[in-house]
């Protein structure tokens, strides 16, 4: 039987930190055993916010190296701009998506606020507005069955399904099947410096633990993690909960249980918890960092391999686009 298809995309912005790894990439790697996957470094999406060309190029390759170091298979990895059919399908789908639908996208509202706050002289690009249409094209061009995404992408996936339905209605053919979200039990990792906000690249260095940071830095960041304010409460403090959740997600269930027992008995020392988390994180990142060193020794070969996999994956995109154009009376 043919394997079901999975597609996901990641923006080449910011660094690869623990939150992104535990909340997405680790799962991408797992899914490769079971599905036919396409993972796209979506650089066209990264242009929707103010950007610098040199940085964009750097970020794309850096992210590719990082993803490979994490265990993403090279044959499943592609760079969006090497497959221009995404944008061509994006145009066609844009004509099947209403202005009103796009106006309701929460991410657009949030991101346009961000742009305004950062620099009032910078404009909000129309690309930011039509971004979800390109995302729909990313997904539909591979006729994906499943899209592993976080809850924040629900609305975009729903829109993708609406666009696919409209396409099928307009062309009178059940051409696109409707892609389903693929949720996994993934932790939402919070910033260790402020457990009330999500670990993120954009919030600044101290709010995320870089997967490729030196061991000492990782240890230091975890050691200085916010735990509780010393107030007596029968609810676990968010900072402590976050440390436990990291410990659980890094694959140390025994240590997790042991420390959780101590917590409930009221004799857990936070320094003990922090040391355990630091050890677990370092055990997790060490092989990934070693693999990255190996990859960096021959960047040229890696670039060639990603160009080749993108070309391979492009064949599938071409096929879909040919059929789509035919169905739309464009060819």
Q: Which is nearer to ligand TRP, 149 or 247 (CB)?
A: 149
Closer of 92 and 277 to ligand TRP (Cβ): 92
Task: Using the minimum distance from each CB to ligand TRP, give the nearer residue, 42 or 302.
Answer: 42
- Please, which residue, 17 or 156, has the CB nearer to ligand TRP? 156
Under rule CB under 6 A, residue 85 binds ligand TRP: no
Contact positions with ligand TRP (CB under 6 A) in 37-66: 42, 45
Considering only residues 223 through 252, tell me which ones interact with ligand TRP, judged by CB under 6 A.
Answer: none
- 3-class DSSP assignment, residue 272: helix
Residue nearest to ligand TRP (CB): 9
The contacts of residue 133 (CB under 8 Å, 6+ apart) are 90, 93, 94, 97, 102, 163
Q: Which residues contact 249 (CB under 8 A, 6 or more apart)?
A: 22, 186, 187, 189
Both tokens assigned to 181: 């979200």
Judged by CB under 6 A, the residue of 11, 48, 208, 221 near ligand TRP is 11
Q: Is 20 in the site for ligand TRP (CB under 6 A)?
A: no
- Determine the Cα–Cα distance for residues 54 and 277; give it in Å rounded to an integer: 36
Q: Which of 91, 81, 87, 93 is nearest to 40 (CA)?
A: 81
Q: Is 81 in the site for ligand TRP (CB under 6 A)?
A: no
Minimum distance of ligand TRP from residue 249's CB (angstroms): 19
- Write down the least CB distance from residue 137 to ligand TRP, Å: 9
Q: Binding segment for ligand TRP among 8-16, 186-194, 289-297, 321-329 (CB under 6 A)?
A: 8-16
- Which residue's CB is nearer to ligand TRP, number 9 or number 239? 9
Taking CB under 6 A as the rule, does residue 78 contact ligand TRP?
no
Residue 153 C-beta: closest distance to ligand TRP, Å: 6
**Please, which residue, 148 or 239, has the CB nearer to ligand TRP?**
148
CB < 8 Å & 24+ apart, contacts of 275-279 = 275/223, 276/247, 276/252, 277/222, 277/225, 277/243, 277/246, 277/247, 277/250, 278/218, 278/219, 278/222, 278/223
Length of the chain counted residue by residue: 331
Task: Give CA–CA dist 88/229, Å, rounded.
Answer: 54
d(Cα 12, Cα 91) in Å, to the nearest integer? 22
25 contributes a contact to ligand TRP by CB under 6 A: no
Distance (Å, whole) CA 18 – CA 200: 9
User: Which contiguous run of DSSP H or E holds residue 6?
Assistant: strand 5-10
Using CB under 6 A as the criterion, what x/- string covers residues 140-179 for binding ligand TRP? -------x-x---x--x-----------------------
Q: Which lies closer to ligand TRP via its Cβ, residue 7 or residue 281?
A: 7
Could you tell me whether strands 36-41 and 77-79 are parallel, antiparallel, or unpaired per DSSP bridges?
parallel
139 is a site residue for ligand TRP (CB under 6 A): yes
Binding site for ligand TRP (CB under 6 A): 7-9, 11, 42, 45, 135, 138-139, 147, 149, 153, 156
């Amino acid at each position: 039987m043919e394997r079901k298809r999975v597609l996901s995309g990641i923006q080449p912005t910011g660094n690869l930190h623990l939150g992104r790894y535990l909340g997405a990439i680790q799962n991408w790697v797992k899914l490769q055993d079971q599905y036919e996957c396409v993972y796209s470094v979506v650089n066209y999406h990264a242009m929707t916010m103010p950007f610098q060309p040199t940085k964009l190029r750097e970020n794309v390759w850096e992210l590719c190296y990082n993803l490979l170091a994490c265990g993403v298979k090279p044959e499943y990895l592609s760079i969006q701009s090497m497959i221009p059919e995404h944008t061509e399908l994006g145009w066609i789908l844009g004509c099947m998506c209403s202005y009103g639908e796009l106006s309701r996208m929460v991410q657009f509202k949030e991101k346009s606020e961000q742009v305004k706050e950062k620099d009032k002289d910078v404009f909000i690009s129309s690309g930011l507005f039509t971004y979800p249409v390109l995302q729909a094209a990313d997904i539909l061009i591979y006729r994906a069955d499943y899209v592993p995404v976080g809850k924040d992408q629900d609305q975009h996936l729903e829109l993708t399904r609406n666009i696919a339905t409209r396409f099928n209605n307009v062309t009178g053919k059940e051409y696109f099947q409707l892609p389903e979200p693929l949720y996994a039990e993934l932790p939402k990792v919070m910033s260790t410096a402020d457990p009330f906000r999500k670990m993120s690249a954009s919030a600044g260095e101290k709010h995320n633990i870089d997967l490729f940071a030196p061991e000492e830095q990782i240890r230091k960041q975890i050691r200085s993690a916010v735990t509780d304010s010393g107030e007596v409460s029968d609810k676990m403090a968010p900072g402590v909960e976050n440390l436990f959740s990291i410990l659980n997600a890094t694959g140390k269930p025994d240590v997790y249980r042991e420390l959780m027992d101590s917590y409930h008995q009221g004799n857990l020392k936070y320094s003990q918890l922090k040391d355990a988390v630091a050890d677990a994180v370092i055990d997790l990142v060490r092989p990934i960092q070693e693999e990255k060193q190996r990859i960096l020794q021959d960047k040229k070969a890696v670039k060639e391999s990603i160009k080749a996999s993108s070309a391979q994956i492009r064949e599938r995109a071409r096929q879909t686009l040919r059929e789509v154009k035919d169905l739309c009376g464009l060819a």
